Amino acid sequence: MFKEFRDFVMRGNVLDLAVAVIIGTAFGKIITSLVNDLLMPPVGLLLGGVDFANLFLNLSGTPYASLAEAQAAGAPTVNYGLFLNTVIDFVIVAFVIFLVVRTANRMRRPAPAAAPATRECPHCLSTIPLKATRCPQCTSELKVG
């Protein structure tokens, strides 16, 4: 049973998947930091100093100055600012993955086929150069083109 498990784990697909999950997790953290630390502060500043991470709807009726304060008090909240950050995070990750897949697909496309350099003699069916005017096998005169 151990040998069977080892064979399963050592197959290429499983290892590729493990590497993809690890790299994807690290990439996700980078994108989350990009959204939260670099993109949203200037967007919030342009929108009048809004901190998206602190946008919430308080369902308890008791006023709280910040989301952290409401959460510390155990108040029920709808955290739509954090949701907006997560949506932007997802859109950026999806766009980058799209670019990676698009680039990989372009690299995998086969090169266009080269124009044929030979043709068949209509008399003896031997292969001859495309521009030949006489077949070297049967010596028939040929039309060029």
Helix axis angle for 80-108 and 12-33, nearest 10°, is: 130
Using a cut of 0.85, tell me whether the model's pTM lies above it: no
pLDDT tens per residue across span 54-108: 889 999 989 999 899 999 999 999 999 989 888 888 888 888 888 888 998 888 8
pLDDT tens per residue across span 99-118: 888 998 888 878 788 888 89
Cα–Cα distance for residue pair 66/48, rounded to 1 Å: 17
> Would you state the pLDDT for residue 69?
93
* Per-residue tokens: 128: 């001859």
pLDDT at 48 over 70: yes
The CATH code that applies to domain 2-109 is 1.10.1200.120
Phi and psi torsions of 78, nearest 5°: -105, 110
Q: Where are the domains of the chain?
A: 2-109, 115-145
Phi and psi torsions of 77, nearest 5°: -135, 150
Cα–Cα distance for residue pair 13/7, rounded to 1 Å: 12
Confidence of residue 12 (pLDDT cuts 50, 70, 90): low
Task: Find the radius of gyration of the CA atoms of the chain.
Answer: 32
pLDDT at 15 over 90: no
Measure the N-to-C terminal CA separation of the chain; round to a whole number of Å.
Answer: 67
